[in-house]
Amino acid sequence: MAVLVCGGAGYIGSHMVRFLLERGEDVLVLDDLSTGHRDFVPPSVPFVQGDVRDATLLGCLFREHRVDAVFHFAAFIQVGESMRDPLAYYDNNLQGVLRLLQTMVRHGVENFVFSSTAAVYGEPELVPIPEDALKCPTNPYGETKLAVERLLHWTSVAHDLRWSALRYFNACGAALDGSIGEAHDPETHLIPLVLDAAMGRRPSVTIFGDDYDTPDGTCIRDYVHVMDLVEAHLLALNALRSGRRSSVYNLGNGRGFSVLEVVEACRRVTGRSILVEKGARRPGDPARLVASSARIREELGWEPRYTALDAIVETAWRWHGKRWG
């Protein structure tokens, strides 16, 4: 039986594919390469370039391959873009899962692991944020992910389908051998931008606000390593395979780091000088987003390994050097 990884050529999906292969799973990738990279997927893995909303294509895939589980990474992920073009986000993020679920139900495929996000919470009332905190997204990106979670719930009430929704906090880092990593275009995430500055690929990094109610005035985020994320996905899948009920889990490091702490870690790890400039707050940025990951630790035994900021940055730097060095 194979695992279908939708979005398997993207940042987290490609790490997932490699991890599944290492664990002896059969893998099949569907990716439209709109943001993914064909060379992130090992040549031995069956690869189909196509749109996850294409019901005909999905039907063919499920007929041709014996699939027992689906991972969904094939979503648009930029908050700002979602504010400018909400219809595109609803179209891709919601319709993609809808088509997949319809096809899974038709073909009797029962296990679904979904990439959700901390953006479902919006401005948190309580930090660390537990899964049952108020969900009030402040942008269409978070809304589409929350809508999918509800869709999963009702689908599993009516059909033989089990699901796990994993709410990532700030995914970061790269494969330990530096062979694949974060490669967005345009890049908007903090760690790759700071490493770009370290490498001289950009003159400086702008700090989006230093007047937040935090110890150094900059925003605090929960940076969770991509290898810890993919390990959590496999734990979630195996729990579903062994009959465990559907569930939602936060995935975070459990510790928060400020923007300035990230910059300092990048200076330590790279040994380079990194120029920072103070800028305005970015609209929609909460001061502090830190996960409570107690549920997945207790229920599935997940234990993140790359929790030290320097260790996280070291893997990202190794990848950055291979990509741009």
90 lies in the site for ligand UDP, by CB under 6 A: no
In whole angstroms, how close is the CB of 36 to ligand UDP at the nearest point? 19
Tell me the site size for ligand UDP, rule CB under 6 A.
14
Q: Provide the mask over 210-229, with x wherever binding to ligand UDP is found by CB under 6 A and - wherever it is not.
A: ---------x-x--------
* Alpha-carbon distances, residue 136 vs 80, 93, 133, 145, 268 (angstroms): 17, 18, 9, 12, 37
Using rule CB under 6 A, residue 78 touches ligand UDP: no
Q: Does 20 bind ligand UDP (CB under 6 A)?
A: no
Does residue 290 interact with ligand UDP by CB under 6 A? no
- Beta bridge pairs of residue 278: 207
Q: Interface with ligand UDP includes 305 (CB under 6 A)?
A: no
Q: How far is CA 221 from CA 35, 168, 187, 295, in A?
A: 24, 11, 18, 19
Provide DSSP, 163-182. Answer: EEEEEESEEE---TTSSS--
d(CA 58, CA 91): 17
Q: Report if residue 170 touches ligand UDP, rule: CB under 6 A.
A: yes
Mark 177-206 with x for binding to ligand UDP (rule: CB under 6 A) and - for no binding: -----------xxx--x-----------xx
Q: Is residue 249 among the annotated active site residues?
A: no
The catalytically annotated residue of 11, 121, 141, 306 is 141
288 binds ligand UDP per the rule CB under 6 A: no
Least separation in angstroms between residue 185's CB and ligand UDP is: 15
Rule CB under 6 A: say whether 145 interacts with ligand UDP: no
The DSSP result for 178-238, as a single string, is SSS----SS---HHHHHHHHHHTSSS-EEEE-S-SSSTTSS-EE-EEEHHHHHHHHHHHHH
Residues binding ligand UDP (CB under 6 A): 170, 188-190, 193, 205-208, 219, 221, 259, 282, 285
**Residues annotated as part of the active site:** 141
